[in-house]
A and B are shown apart, each in its own frame.
Chain A
Amino acid sequence: MNTLPLTIAIRHLLARRRQSIVSLLGIVLGVGFFLSISSLMQGSEDDFIARLIDNSPHITVVDQYRAPHRQPASDIFRTGAVQVLRVKPETETRGILNYVRALAYIRTLPGVTSSPVLDGQALISFAGQDKAITLSGMIPTEINAVSTIGKYMIAGRILDLAANPNGIIIGDQLANDLSLQMGENLNISATTGQTRTFKIVGLFHTGRVNIDDGQAFVSLKRVQALLNRPNRVNNIIIKLADPNAAQTLAAQIESRIGYKSISWQEASQDIMSLLVIRKILMYAVVSAVLVVAAFGIYNVISTIVMEKQRDIAILKSMGFRASDVLRVFLTQGVLLGIAGCAVGLPFGCALMIGIMRVSFKMPGSRDLTYMPVSWNWIQFAMAAAFAMVAATLAAIIPARKAAQVDPVDILRGGI
């Protein structure tokens, strides 16, 4: 390969050292900011999704069907004008029928951990106060494998529910509201009219007010008895070794057992859409930095082309083709892009390290929060690709102008 265009391009850039350095700085700053900002945004997104995945079930099987049952009349008169109005579903004990069989199937799937839960509404009556809560009945020995609630315990353990069948774990906020402490008893009434007394064996703090103030955990058998739903659960919580497989597996489970199976992606569809919009906005903003830098490159190469009209004319008279001349000036843009990446990526890394060291305390939090930064290679590749594309595009217009120079026009003027 003939390296002559490269040699001439390097000489041109070195001859205009100051302008070249200024335009190079533009690309360096552009790449650095592109990398650091996109990594910060990607890091925060990854962190958010990790928390989302961590704190919620990967798949939840609920005691509902995705579409309402078709009425027999509609099935019989498929082509007829049948409209069934005021359908009143049969009164039934809600819950997943044969959940043990459903669980047995789910547990045959690879990389799957699952546990049944029965959620219901209940009322705490204590010291003249009534407080509506969500009561979750679960299997204490299994729940830690599918839920993060164990991580948020500030007193007692989840397994204490196994040791004490009448135990209850409540949020610290609820305990505060009702002036309750560990070891104290409280009465819980269900909509069935039944009332049971539970002993507080654990307190948790998740930081989410609606949970800390409105949720309590007891053993599954107790909730089944309280809600009068023996051998029923209304949720099966599933955690996966690969959370990204949730959508596929949810569809597979739903098609097998019939009950609605909601993947974490489906449950968080609105948030995921928001993240996509956020990402588009972020790339638009950081790309603007590189577009500005590209104008610097355009400026310096245009100036070189203007100044080098005589050189272009002599190169063409010597036998250089228009494509050779184009290559000379395009190479200058590419060289500035490469140099910009070579310096800009380490500069971006330095910014990323700086950002990672920034820490602050969120209001109400005891722990220091650090800025999440993604070190994914894709961020680096995108920063480099954007810089190269911007630098090359910036060089194309002046390079084409240089290639179109008519040597006769210049020679006539120059002689």
Chain B
Amino acid sequence: MEPVIRAVGASRVLEGEVPVTLVLEATLAVAPGEFVAITGPSGSGKSSLLYLLGLLDRPTSGSIVLEGVNTSELDEDALAEARLSHLGFVFQSNFLLPEFTAIENVMLPMQRLDRLSDAEIRERAETLLNSLGLAAQRDKRPNQMSGGQCQRVAVARALANDPAIILADEPTGNLDTASSATVQSILRELAHKHGRAVIVITHDRDFAQTADRKIVVVDGRIQSDVEKP
């Protein structure tokens, strides 16, 4: 299947008196429906690679190709639009806006995209929350929910604009075992049942073992990229 996102020799070097290489000539491609785990030691450049794939950062050399478009040629506003329409992020900390309720947090990306009516936005947000078992938490603020619930709201928010790619950076890092299992299961389902490309950074070996592919990053390089037998 045609990949939805590709890194083509992408490097990220921080300029300074002593240049620091975060990512070195990363080349990978992820197809729709693939569930990819990126692992590696702390400080190996996993998150930096994810930020490049998520168009939050620009490679100093090489390129990121999103659905056939070389993103190196896009300006900041176009990159923001690409993130809005094609990418969904889940981070270790849920990063929900504390002044907004669960449903309002989920509605934010759709309101920014401004393609649906207010009623349709609300309806879709409710559907997403219900599908993640958060119907009762709909009108609660982040400080009124558990960590697992907040993380599921963050997943719902990442799915709001129906993105082709979900990027998750240690999404279960702050969760208890039960919540962690729930979030892992949701991410797997997103790939396998809903055909989304899911790229997850994790230190959890068991979680990584359940992925379709496991990419190991060491010192900014992709050391191995192995498909599950």
Contact = CB atoms under 8 A, between A and B. Distances in A.
Interface of A: 2, 4, 7-8, 11-12, 14-15, 310-311, 313-324, 407-408, 411-412, 414-415
A321 B95 contact: no
Contact of B111 (A2, A322, A323, A415): A2
A411 B76 contact: no
B47 A411 contact: yes
A415 B99 contact: no
B54 interface: yes
B56 A319 contact: no
B80 A313 contact: no
B83 A317 contact: yes
Contacts of A315: 97, 108
Contact of B83 (A319, A322, A324): A319
B98 A2 contact: no
B80 A316 contact: yes
A317 B112 contact: no
A407 B93 CA distance: 14
A320 B93 contact: no
27 contacts: A2-B111, A7-B111, A11-B99, A11-B100, A12-B99, A15-B98, A310-B93, A311-B95, A311-B97, A314-B91, A315-B108, A316-B80, A317-B54, A317-B56, A317-B83, A318-B84, A318-B109, A319-B82, A319-B113, A320-B80, A321-B80, A408-B51, A408-B56, A412-B47, A414-B93, A414-B95, A415-B47
Interface of B: 47, 51, 54, 56-57, 76-77, 80-85, 87, 89, 91-93, 95, 97-100, 108-109, 111-114, 157, 161, 169-170
Given A314-B89, A415-B92, 10 more contacts: A2-B112, A2-B114, A11-B99, A314-B91, A315-B108, A318-B83, A319-B112, A320-B80, A321-B80, A415-B169
Given A4-B112, A318-B112, A415 B56 contact: no
A320 to B, nearest CB: 6
A408 B170 CA distance: 15
Nearest to A12: B99
B47 A319 contact: no
A162 B57 CA distance: 97
Contacts of A2: 111-112, 114
Contact of A14 (B56, B93, B99, B157): B99
Classify the secondary structure of A's interface with B: helix
B146 to A, nearest CB: 19
B80 A4 contact: no
Contacts, number: 83
Given A4-B108, A317-B54, A408-B57, A15 B76 contact: no
Nearest to B83: A319
Contact of A415 (B77, B84, B85, B91): B91
B11 to A, nearest CB: 15
Given A4-B108, A319-B83, A314 B99 contact: no
A411 B112 contact: no
A95 B126 CA distance: 95
Given A11-B99, A414-B93, A321 B113 contact: no
A284 B157 CA distance: 50
Contacts of A4: 108, 111-112
A415 B113 contact: no
Contact of B109 (A7, A11, A319, A321): A319
* Chain B CB within 10 A, most for which of A8, A313, A321: A321
A173 B104 CA distance: 82
Contact of A324 (B87, B112, B157, B169): B112
A-B pairs, 7 with minimum CB distance: A319-B84, A11-B99, A314-B95, A319-B83, A321-B80, A4-B111, A15-B99
B51 A411 contact: yes
Contacts of B114: 2
Contacts of B57: 408
Contact of A310 (B76, B87, B95, B100): B95
A315 B161 CA distance: 14
A14 B157 CA distance: 23
Contacts of A11: 97, 99-100
Contacts of B80: 316, 319-322
Nearest to B12: A408
Given A408-B51, A415-B47, A320 B95 contact: no
B190 to A, nearest CB: 17
A170 to B, nearest CB: 79
A4 B57 CA distance: 25
A324 to B, nearest CB: 7
A317 B89 contact: yes
A407 to B, nearest CB: 5
A322 B76 CA distance: 8
A2 B113 CA distance: 9
Nearest to A318: B109
A382 to B, nearest CB: 35
Contacts of B91: 314, 411, 414-415
A368 B47 CA distance: 79
A228 B62 CA distance: 108
Nearest to A3: B111
A313 B92 CA distance: 14
Contacts of A314: 89, 91, 95, 97
Most buried by B among A15, A317, A319, A411: A319
Nearest to B201: A415
Given A11-B100, A408-B57, A319 B81 contact: yes
B85 A319 contact: yes
